[in-house]
Structure 1
């Protein structure tokens, strides 16, 4: 297997720690071919000017976070800006006491691009854009270098920047957003890092009062619990204007919205989802691909889930003609099931080869041993119903580490006895399939 050491390291370290890798997901993507095709189609539509919302639903361990990580990798390849955040009791779509703006700030902190995939890419995005504008002006004016000490050159660059951001004035909050970008540009040209930091702080939603923002930056508004979503829409337009394909937002752990105990607050959060749904599907915004990851209860519970909000239930109910065999992946809700045992087998094969490649040794674990390992794992009481693929992966990688470092280790303690029958494996597959159904 040929792959970058950085990718194999990210895969092995992340999966051993129970989290989704930031790199190399394509090497371990199994059992999601149809979903991957749909995601690619969705991203292509967004590049062409639409916006799309997707809600991935499934039990714990079904791969919701993994598929959002896969979306991130695909989006990088298509030149999107990508960000993500988990819902928590302190980060919501709607809330008081800065709970909504906390979600916005997390999204801005996690902004990433293909060249800066780990996050904190906001300043990099702005610097790259300003540099490109400067180079364009330099070539148009037949200059031999960037003349930062030439007031005329600086004015011309600022005019080019103004031409881009003036298109956002018609959006609510667009005027102040444009003024902040001008302030950042002036800090960039004058090497005034303090001014740049203040502009970034405003863009990240970190100003607590309008008075402070006006004193520091001369703007009349700040990003807060009430207007944060407007600024998400503005930012998605901005990245499109400066040459990116659009903005991808992955929101996970939506079960934390379901867990909100106050009915009116919970409903306000669902109302925001409805607003996003309407904006994306009615064409009120372009260049935004936004996904949610949640459990079946989050979607279908008619007392506390999305289906408790009538307008959302009507929009999110499954296509009545869909079956397990014939699926409609173009609809907003995509239901995920846990990997089947044969797909888990393929995944462990790949991890075996990645582990060997990363550690520069010849893999000795046979396919039969992998099969026996899966049988042993699912043969535990209650495992078919409760064991997740993530649990199996962590255990398997632990086994690989032990065997690599201790060649004399008794392999039967890991993989079980050779005598384990095909009948037992078939029985487990049968019970697993019934659970998935």
Structure 2
């Protein structure tokens, strides 16, 4: 059943799932039951490649696989030559703020930029250098300078002029400072000035907090802030497309942390930012941009503090009233993630058993019949229908495999019977109780 899995991927899968988180690598090897969603997503990617932009909301119960789905989308998009970035909303990261929390989200996005050759993130410097090489080649051809000579410091002004000219063509807002910083990066690149390159990357990642510090280090007058970070994301999107990439995809998980914002005005400002992004994408104001949000049904549908509390979003995100669990509409902005069937869970556990054995170079004595017995024990326990999630099933199964690997004589059936159902959902009623109106 294993298909060309690499040892590094197997280790990432097992270690991450044992820790209760989604692996950054290898999610395609443990994907079951999401083929229709992926097919629709590939169609959307094709539209974005052709110049459109897209926003999708991946909605499901706690532990239903939303984060897994975003990582799977990453894998697919990277193969389609997209630049991809991931970030989680947290109490300190959000879309709108006036105290640095929005630019903190921007910094997290820039830190996690990935391309196919660097799928784990940290690819911003690689992309900058690739783009600079392209500018060098075009400048050498235009100026009649040999490629072997263009890096000479005497040609620095010509290359810097070409960088600035290209940046000005690509950017709408903040282009001058953006171009100046990229020129500084190039200067550090050809003079082996690592400090200058680090300062340029620091600015581009939104890590300067004062204009004074940025002016001292780079000679620019502005920094990336809560106000202008979205414009910078759009600038980077155009830059990536100019390099030959298909587009820029940004995945934003844990939208529950927007729902949890205690003050209604601040929460509405964040929803207003979502509306701005939504309108920009679907009205054609930006191109080649794909933004995915992931959250629970409560985050979407709660009319007091969820997305539906903001009327303009509610009207745009209303579910197709003709959709059922059997008849799906994947073209709409909201994609509901249905629970895995028992057959799909069985196939998933089979795959995990093979990956576990491959990772540890062993063969655990757990047969398909044992997997069935484990599932029967688990799904028949009180509370299973209400509280059991794929995350719990996976972690319990891998914990048992881990015990059996280290203690081969243990009784499997006894281990199966000792599995307990836990309610791991966040207490959203408590969130409602602390709301400050």
Deviation at 1:20, TM superposition (A): 0.8
Question: What secondary structure does 2:328 align onto?
Answer: coil
Say if 2:62 is the partner of 1:56: no
Partner in structure 2 of residue 241 of structure 1: 242
Residues 159, 175 of structure 1: alpha-carbon distance in 2 compared, 3 angstrom cutoff = closer
| 1-structure distance, mates of 2:135, 2:147 | 15
Q: Is the 8 A contact 2:89 2:252 kept in 1?
A: yes
Q: Is the 8 A contact 2:253 2:294 kept in 1?
A: yes
Deviations 1:1-36 (A, max 9, x none): 342111111111111111111111111110111001
Partner in structure 1 of residue 151 of structure 2: 148
Relative to structure 2, which stretch is displaced further, 220-229 or 132-141? 132-141
Q: Is the 8 A contact 1:99 1:225 kept in 2?
A: yes
Deviation at 1:288, TM superposition (A): 1.0
Deviation at 1:362, TM superposition (A): 3.9
Say if 2:14 is the partner of 1:12: yes
Partner in structure 2 of residue 125 of structure 1: 127
| 2-structure distance, mates of 1:318, 1:146 | 59
Say if 2:399 is the partner of 1:398: yes
Partner in structure 1 of residue 433 of structure 2: none
Question: What secondary structure does 1:266 align onto?
Answer: helix
Matches within 5 A, 1:26-425: 26-135=28-137, 141=144, 143=146, 145-149=148-152, 151-152=154-155, 154-169=156-171, 171-362=172-363, 364-415=365-416
Deviation at 1:218, TM superposition (A): 2.2
Question: What secondary structure does 2:55 align onto?
Answer: strand
Partner in structure 1 of residue 423 of structure 2: none
| 1-structure distance, mates of 2:195, 2:358 | 46
Return the TM-score normalized by structure 1: 0.90
Q: Is the 8 A contact 2:85 2:249 kept in 1?
A: yes
Question: What secondary structure does 1:31 align onto?
Answer: coil
Deviations 1:200-245 (A, max 9, x none): 1111111112232223222222111111111111111111112222
Q: Is the 8 A contact 2:182 2:200 kept in 1?
A: yes
| 1-structure distance, mates of 2:150, 2:261 | 56
Return the TM-score normalized by structure 2: 0.90
| 2-structure distance, mates of 1:52, 1:254 | 18
Question: What secondary structure does 1:299 align onto?
Answer: helix
For structure 1, the residue ranges without an aligned partner over 5 or more in a row are 418-437
Residues 239, 375 of structure 1: alpha-carbon distance in 2 compared, 3 angstrom cutoff = same
Question: What secondary structure does 2:37 align onto?
Answer: helix
| 1-structure distance, mates of 2:116, 2:158 | 30
Deviation at 1:397, TM superposition (A): 1.0
Q: Is the 8 A contact 1:372 1:416 kept in 2?
A: no
| 1-structure distance, mates of 2:81, 2:159 | 24
Residues 202, 150 of structure 1: alpha-carbon distance in 2 compared, 3 angstrom cutoff = closer
Residues 209, 416 of structure 1: alpha-carbon distance in 2 compared, 3 angstrom cutoff = closer
Question: What secondary structure does 2:286 align onto?
Answer: coil
Question: What secondary structure does 1:248 align onto?
Answer: strand
| 1-structure distance, mates of 2:136, 2:280 | 34
Q: Is the 8 A contact 1:369 1:415 kept in 2?
A: no
Residues 233, 147 of structure 1: alpha-carbon distance in 2 compared, 3 angstrom cutoff = closer
